[in-house]
Amino acid sequence: MPDITSGNIQLRPNEIYASLSNLIISIVTQADNIYATKSELVDMARVDGSMYGDQKIYVATDALESHSWIQDSAQATNVLAIRRAKPPKKQTVILDVFRQIEVTTDEYMSKRAWGTPEAFYGFTEVVIGWMVVTKRIYDATTYNAFIGTNRAAGAAQNIRIQLPTDANAESQARLQAGAIAERLANMLVDIKDIGRDLNDYGLLRSYNPDDMLFVWNSAWVSRIEKRDLPTIFHREGLMDKFAQHTYPPRYFGEVNGLSVTVSDGSTIRALVESDVTVAATGTVYHVFAGDLIPAGVSLVESGSIVVPSYTVNPNIIVKVMHKNSVPYMSAFETASSWFNPKNLSTNRYLTWGHNTLEHLLMYPFMTIEAEPTAAGAAEQTAAEAAE
């Protein structure tokens, strides 16, 4: 097996003339590195930003009131009475996160490692192309990890289901699918009904079910096949609608606070792209949001969180959110470069900005999860490990 750790390429002796070496036929730089970034959610969430200003303000108002009316009563004849609307709710989304990707290339000394111009420029194009791909990875993983870990405050938006069990695995799958389907059916009714429970402001609202996104934990989708669902969910393609956004189990969890101080290497993942250091060895790792944090990394230092993280929760089945719940606002995105005439290299930069992620309190953001059981946790952990 070739040595892939040192980076050295050794020429092989010719089979006839041992004093000579066989030449390298070619060096091919693989360009098909990232098939997809699971960026559907963040792409739908993009809203306009600007380099002028740094805030977008969302204002939410409440319903008015009606009262009994009697003609010629004091109330009915008092045309000077003032009754203003309730003070509106205001939420500010701030453009305050800025990131940069940088890479150095050159067209002189590094060119000596390649046998042909095509091989050299193929490699350079792939390296430069990674800048755009890396940003896509950042956007998608950061947004997906937020969606999978964010929770609304209201109890009505945090729903636990007691799933039935059965000794027969197929029977249990059908029973559990039925319980989840029933809860989703009830939720659709609640969403369309007029009420105050499905937004954290407590404002009077009703929502269009077509505006809701169902973000599924793929481990649960795998367990609940279409054939296990009640007939009602096969009508009008409802299950296809529900399962159109399916994400790996690693994105679903609970945000860690100050009480979780050190990563365990098995369930704690990064909430944002970070450099992390294993305290015992000093080894530095770079992780994207959703990546497992190696064991022994200090998450809290001097009473402050230094590595934002979350612990995977295998019981989360699906997140149900309004399509406008979590805006992703861009400040700017610009590519720039600088040629260093002294060492003949080019520094290339990709710089951009976006808002701190938060869900708008005027919209629903519901979490449906199973009541935890030891057997269920083991099954879900195995499913996550297989991802």
User: Tens place of pLDDT for every residue, the chain, 387 residues?
Assistant: 444 445 677 888 988 778 888 878 777 878 778 777 788 899 899 998 888 889 999 999 999 999 999 999 998 899 999 999 999 999 999 999 999 999 999 999 999 888 889 999 999 999 999 999 999 999 999 999 999 999 999 899 999 999 998 898 878 888 888 888 888 888 989 999 999 999 999 999 999 999 999 999 999 887 776 555 555 455 545 566 666 799 999 999 999 999 999 999 999 999 999 999 999 999 999 999 999 999 999 999 999 999 999 999 999 999 999 999 999 998 889 999 999 999 999 999 999 999 999 999 999 999 999 998 655 555 555 545 555
* Strand segments (E) across 299-342: 300-301, 304-305, 309-312, 316-322, 328-340
Q: Are 328 and 357 in contact (CB under 8 A)?
A: yes
- Give me Rg for the CA atoms of the chain: 27
* Residue 223 host element (H or E): helix 218-223
> In angstroms, how far is CA 74 from the centroid of its own chain?
58
Q: Are 176 and 164 in contact (CB under 8 A)?
A: yes
pTM over 0.85: yes
Torsion of CA 127, 288, 214, 177, to 10 degrees: 110
Q: Which residue has the tokens 């195995």?
A: 382
Would you say the C-alpha torsion 150, 151, 153, 154 has a positive or negative sign? Answer: positive
Residues 6+ apart with CB under 8 A from 327: 45, 47, 56, 93, 355, 360
- Domain segments of the chain: what residues? 30-252+313-387
The one-letter amino acid at 274? S
**Count of positions (residues) in the chain:** 387
Give whole-number Cα distances, 366 to 233, 256, 298, 316, 359, in Å.
20, 19, 31, 11, 11
The edge-to-edge listing of strands for the beta sheet with 245-247 is: 158-161, 365-370, 316-322, 212-217, 245-247
Measure the CA–CA gap between 63 and 44, rounded to whole angstroms.
Answer: 29
Which of 321, 320, 317, 319 is closest to 223 using CA atoms? Answer: 317
Question: Which pair of tokens denotes residue 153?
Answer: 């405050």
